[in-house]
Chains A and B, each alone.
Chain A
């Protein structure tokens, strides 16, 4: 009995996570068409390739590299995808010095030491959008 229990536990641990997506008809048609073109028989294979491609794109944009296509005549078209641009900022922003007066610094210090203010409704909405 304990051996069976262990096997069950192992099976449970190795179970792959399921991924379900609601697709609009047009997206569904696109997925089917892409699977056919790429000769992919399963949705899992399709997802694995799509994730690999997206992962590569994210890594490249994070490094500040552009993703572009180049035609046989040398015309280039840069891929602009809003979500990719979010990872592009290369996080490290340049440094500047700001001039402060004593009162501003005091006010800043008080705000910094205090509990953070609750987000306003407009801020919550903008961050959700």
Chain B
């Protein structure tokens, strides 16, 4: 299986995608294209097989965000530059359940990392943030994501942080 990761296109076949997670399925089928092309709030990248280059096997969605210094607790702000903290949001990552266990998630994550490094070098960005499902926290932690405090056990997701400097260090290691 020769897998390629590329940007989502309008005529890609998303209808059959099934990650066994309704939210992830719905996003790809109903929102990914319009969010990317029409209202431009996120970009979705898909994994396809070379032999069926239109059928989505897995995907991830990225967007940028920033936190103004006024949002941070006062005790931390002192001494910091008065600029927004730029970051990349890994908003979605899902793999079709029929292709689980083939390393697709890892491949998608790698591409998300590569894009993040590229973005950080071109426009600046400090970290990657993702809201991971609680049962996926250890998977993200394996790749260096650190859980942020304050998530609350009642939430279905855990907010996690990965420093761009850590990513760059991994490239040089």
Interface residues of chain A, those whose CB is within 8 Å of chain B, are 78, 80, 82, 85-86, 88-98, 100-113, 116-120, 122-124, 126-127, 129
The interface residues of chain B lying within 8 Å CB-to-CB of A92 are 64, 119, 122-123
B93 lies within 8 A of chain A by Cβ = no
The interface residues of chain A lying within 8 Å CB-to-CB of B80 are 113
What CA separation (Å) do A90 and B146 show in the bound complex? Answer: 28
A106 contacts B163, CB within 8 Å? no
From the candidates A93, A97, A113, name the one contacting B76 in the complex (CB within 8 A): A113
Main secondary structure of the interface of B (DSSP, over half): mixed
Most buried by B among A89, A112, A129: A89
Q: Given that A97-B65, A104-B148, A108-B161 are known contacts, is A91 also in contact with B106, CB under 8 Å in the complex?
A: no
B132 lies within 8 A of chain A by Cβ = no
Q: Mark B78-116, 1 if CB is under 8 A from A, else 0.
A: 001000010011010000000000000010011101110
Most buried by A among B41, B111, B123, B149: B149
Q: Which residue of B lies closest to A81 (CB)?
A: B4
What CA separation (Å) do A43 and B64 show in the bound complex? Answer: 44
Q: How many residues of B contact A (CB 8 A)?
A: 60
Q: Given that A117-B166, A120-B142, A127-B110 are known contacts, is A94 also in contact with B173, CB under 8 Å in the complex?
A: no
14 A–B pairs (Cβ distance < 8 Å), ordered by A: A80-B53, A82-B5, A86-B114, A86-B118, A96-B41, A96-B64, A102-B150, A106-B72, A111-B148, A112-B163, A113-B80, A118-B166, A123-B167, A127-B113
A109 contacts B72, CB within 8 Å? yes
A93 contacts B167, CB within 8 Å? no
Tally of A-B Cβ pairs under 8 angstroms? 156
A126 contacts B143, CB within 8 Å? yes
B148 contacts A116, CB within 8 Å? no
B129 contacts A118, CB within 8 Å? no
From the candidates A90, A101, A120, A126, name the one contacting B109 in the complex (CB within 8 A): A126
What CA separation (Å) do A105 and B111 show in the bound complex? Answer: 27
The interface residues of chain A lying within 8 Å CB-to-CB of B148 are 104, 107-108, 111
Q: Given that A109-B73, A113-B76 are known contacts, is A93 also in contact with B63, CB under 8 Å in the complex?
A: yes
What CA separation (Å) do A128 and B6 show in the bound complex? Answer: 19
B110 contacts A106, CB within 8 Å? no
A124 contacts B173, CB within 8 Å? yes
What CA separation (Å) do A95 and B123 show in the bound complex? Answer: 12
B43 contacts A118, CB within 8 Å? no
Q: Which residue of A lies closest to B131 (CB)?
A: A98
B122 contacts A111, CB within 8 Å? no
The interface residues of chain A lying within 8 Å CB-to-CB of B89 are 96, 98
What CA separation (Å) do A107 and B28 show in the bound complex? Answer: 31
B88 contacts A93, CB within 8 Å? yes
B129 contacts A91, CB within 8 Å? no
